[in-house]
Amino acid sequence: MEYLQEIEQNVSRLVAAYEQARRDNVALQEQIKQQDEELFSLRTQVKQAQADLRNLQIAHALTVDSPQRQKAKNHIRSIIADIDRTIETLKH
């Protein structure tokens, strides 16, 4: 009889451990979901910051006297000239 009580106690502990592990698993899954959402948000912020940085670099290059500014201006002039040539070609 004592042997059956010991088995019953072991089964009860095993069931309790299983239930606790199941609750822990649910909590960890929720935590992973929240961290995934936070990671997505942070990645979005990083992409926006990178875009902002590129825009600032372009703006800086166009406003400060520098070789980069002159190079950018020349490139823009070249593009405008190509567009003008294309328009003239399409007119005829």
pLDDT at 70: 79
Total domains in the fold of the chain: 1
63: CB partners within 8 A, 6+ apart? 69
Q: What is the mean pLDDT of each run of 10 residues along the chain (92 residues)?
A: 89 96 97 94 95 86 73 87 89 75
Is-above-0.85 flag for pTM? Answer: no
Tell me which residue range forms the domain holding 68. 2-91
Contact of 61 with 69, CB cutoff 8 Å: yes
First-to-last CA distance in the chain? 107
Query: How far, in Å, are 14, 54, 76 from residue 24 at the CA level?
Result: 15, 44, 60
Mind giving me the DSSP string for 22-59?
A: HHHHHHHHHHHHHHHHHHHHHHHHHHHHHHHHHHHHHH
pLDDT at 91: 80
Helix (H) or strand (E) holding 65: none
